Amino acid sequence: MAHSDDNGLALPPKIAPSHIAIIPIYRDEDEHAQVMGMCREIEALFHKEHFEDIRIYTELDDRDLTGSERNWHWIKKGIPLRIEVGPRDVASGSVMLARRDKEPREKISVPLTELKEVVLKSLKEIQDFYYQRALEFRTANTVNIDDNKEFYRYFTPKNQNQPEIHGGFAIRIGVEIRPVRSASRMISRLPFAAFLLTLRMKMVPAFVAARPLNVG
């Protein structure tokens, strides 16, 4: 998947269900009262705020779990930003900000007065980074097939006992593909809307089935 890594989901801000996880860190009830006040202030700061044309949603995580457990919960869910608030942060008027596109332990201290600006900038950088990474992945894993001979060579399994699996969908104008025994298998896995589009545009669909073609 383009939008995941070894730590779980890695969602671009424009498709993430929430954008900021606010994580209060405290040891007792007195500290809890202090940090929750700042956490609610941060919630209010982003209430109805937008990143480009997307409304920003926050999650205030005050569950009875350790700070590490709550951090990893949101890392695995792919939430773009995490904000930690502890007693020392309250005293200094700042928070600790972590990004999903960075290492889990990588955090920066951000003054509360600059938080909105830094968050909006970070969301834009994360969105651009994930887009570029997905684009490079697609380019690196795209194979252009220009003739019939290459088409059959590519989709004929090299090892019949352990055939490789190809995935994807490709169309090209003017390529004639002779019928093969597994043609019905190809069409049965072609998304219906895409198949109708190829017929309308007089293109030849070449859909890659879950199992390789056996031509002969």
Kindly indicate the confidence band of residue 1, based on its pLDDT and cuts at 50, 70 and 90. low
The residue among 195 and 124 whose pLDDT is bigger is: 124
pLDDT tens digits, 150-177: 877 877 777 777 776 665 555 554 444 4
CA distance linking residue 37 with residue 90, whole number of Å: 9
Which helix (H) or strand (E) segment is 200 a member of? helix 192-200
Least confident of 19-28, 158-167, 184-193, 205-214: 205-214
DSSP state for residue 113 in the 8-state scheme: G
Q: Does residue 17 surpass a pLDDT of 80?
A: yes
Residue environment code for 101-139, b if the CB has 16+ CB neighbours within 10 A, otherwise e: beeeeebeebebeebeeebbebbeebbeebeebeeeeee
CA distance linking residue 82 with residue 22, whole number of Å: 6
> What pLDDT score was predicted for residue 168?
53
Residue 3: closest CA among 108, 138, 118, 140: 138
- Half-sphere exposure of residue 181, counting CA atoms within 13 Å on the CB side? 6
Q: Does residue 180 surpass a pLDDT of 90?
A: no
> What pLDDT score was predicted for residue 214?
43
3-state secondary structure 9-61: ECCCCCCCCCCEEEEECCCCHHHHHHHHHHHHHHHHHCCCCEECCEECCEEEC
Burial of 164: CB neighbours in 10 Å, binned 0-12, 13-18, 19+: exposed
Write down the mean pLDDT value for the chain: 81
- The whole-model pTM stands at 0.73
- Which residues fall within 8 angstroms of residue 174, CB to CB, at 6 or more apart? none
> What pLDDT score was predicted for residue 169?
52
pLDDT tens digits, 47-92: 999 999 999 999 999 999 999 999 999 999 999 999 999 999 999 9
Q: Which amino acid type is present at position 104?
A: P
Start-to-end Cα distance in the chain: 33
Q: Does residue 207 surpass a pLDDT of 60?
A: no
pLDDT tens digits, 126-154: 999 999 999 998 888 787 777 778 877 87
> What pLDDT score was predicted for residue 199?
46
Kindly indicate the confidence band of residue 198, based on its pLDDT and cuts at 50, 70 and 90. very low
Domain boundaries, the chain: 4-139, 148-207
Tell me the CATH number of domain 4-139, given options 3.40.50.800, 3.90.1330.10, 3.30.420.40, 3.90.700.10: 3.40.50.800
Q: Does residue 195 surpass a pLDDT of 60?
A: no
